Structure 1
């Protein structure tokens, strides 16, 4: 296998990209909003598991701060999306997202691949929180 520079990979991916449909408006962050909601839910579940399993009086303020930061981390980009304005045309539906996927710096990802790439970190964090709670319960 020969080495390819990142710019060569990016150029090849751009040339192989599917053209956008003319009647379609792009989303500000390219992903379907359901993925943003699922990611927020994953991070929220991680914090909720830790809060429920490890909560003490001393952790109430740090957990509240973590939940506020989580809400801010998703509310700020949502505000940017509203400020960006609406493009003409309709947005990509969930079925179209699953069929067409999303363009990344290293090439096009199918819908399922994009879901895995976006949600792998929240899923691993939830599993890590469950492992921490299981260890705490066993000790």
Structure 2
């Protein structure tokens, strides 16, 4: 399968498109949800919006993670030696821990200051993941 990734001229670009789509779904829906928690569009109820936005964000994460694993399998040695890739993986782990903390404390029901702080941290972490992903090609 990985030989096909390297030999087929469309395989790698399609994989990158799927990866980009996953990132767009993830970040776009997180930002949408965060805007609501920070007070925008108050006419929208938080929990129904969270249900659709966070489910779509999770789908985006699965697309990005799956395509990312396939890209990693195509060049593991190069990526493991790349500091931007290593930092990206650490930031993804931190973002996962942050999300787990957000949900474990019941932040969806509260939407209080700690929930907003966790959401702001989430945005910063995912933007840093995005930046590291772009830097991989240049280091």
Please, what TM-score do these two structures have when normalized by structure 2? 0.33
Structure that is richer in strand per residue: 1
Structure that is richer in helix per residue: 2
Report 1 or 2 for greater relative contact order, CA contacts < 8 Å, sequence distance ≥ 6. Answer: 1
Please, what TM-score do these two structures have when normalized by structure 1? 0.33
